[in-house]
Amino acid sequence: MKRIFDIVMATFGLALVSPLFVWIAWKIKIEDGGPIFYRGVRVGFRGKLFRIFKFRSMVVNADKIGPLSTKSEDPRITQIGRWIREHKVDELPQLLNVLAGDMSFVGPRPEVKSEVDTYGPELDIIFKVRPGITDFSSIEFRNEGDIISQSGITDAHEAYRKLIKPRKIELQKKYAINHSFILDIKLILQTLLLVVGKK
């Protein structure tokens, strides 16, 4: 049932936001001529690696010239990237990952392999469900960049590991243990309300 829901809603969602997709793609392209999407590698269902779709909100090769985590005022963020992040639309291309079966609408947010490599076997349960566009941690840490910026810790990724990662893992495990269709609907509605409220 969940997979059918994902396919139907991802197809509907892509059709609904296609004009916005085209506008954002055009703005990204004319700003610096670089690729429209960021395709970082993430760890997914059953530990399988996949490439995630996100609108590129930072300069080309940003991950090679700065930390993995990002402060809200990070100089690598492009002009259109600031708008994308402010309006929480950088994740919309992950609808393509949902259609491909790499992700679901709701599930633990996918992490990079270097972080997953630090997990113990007690966290294997997180990878028994598909990663998602939203989950408990997406809602609790919706202003992740601001939390990192206000931490006073110079290294953004160190701030992420100290202030966000432990709680995020706890919330991901909570979802993996308690996931249900009703919970998914609740989390989707909460996420939509936050996005609308932000706008």
The mean predicted confidence, pLDDT, of the chain is 92
In whole angstroms, give the CA distance from residue 194 to residue 151.
Answer: 23
Structure tokens at 145: 């960049």
Tokens 């530990």 appear where? Answer: 47
- Does the pLDDT at position 192 exceed 80? yes
Q: Give pLDDT, residue 65.
A: 82
Domain boundaries, the chain: 2-198
Q: Work out the end-to-end distance of the chain between its first and last CA atoms, rounded to an integer number of angstroms.
A: 32
In whole angstroms, give the CA distance from residue 15 to residue 120.
Answer: 40
pLDDT digits (tens, 9 = 90+) for 81-104: 999 988 889 999 999 999 999 999
Q: Compute the average pLDDT of residues 150-162.
A: 88
pLDDT digits (tens, 9 = 90+) for 34-74: 999 999 999 999 999 999 999 999 999 887 887 778 877 88
Tokens 């399988």 appear where? Answer: 48
pLDDT digits (tens, 9 = 90+) for 111-135: 999 999 999 999 999 999 999 999 9
Q: pTM of this prediction?
A: 0.88
- Does the pLDDT at position 198 exceed 60? no
**Per-position DSSP letters for 40-107, written without gaps between them:** -EEE-GGG-EEEPPEE--B-TTGGGSS-SS--TT-TTB-HHHHHHHHTT-TTTTHHHHHHHTS-EEES
Judge whether 174 and 106 are in contact, CB under 8 Å: no
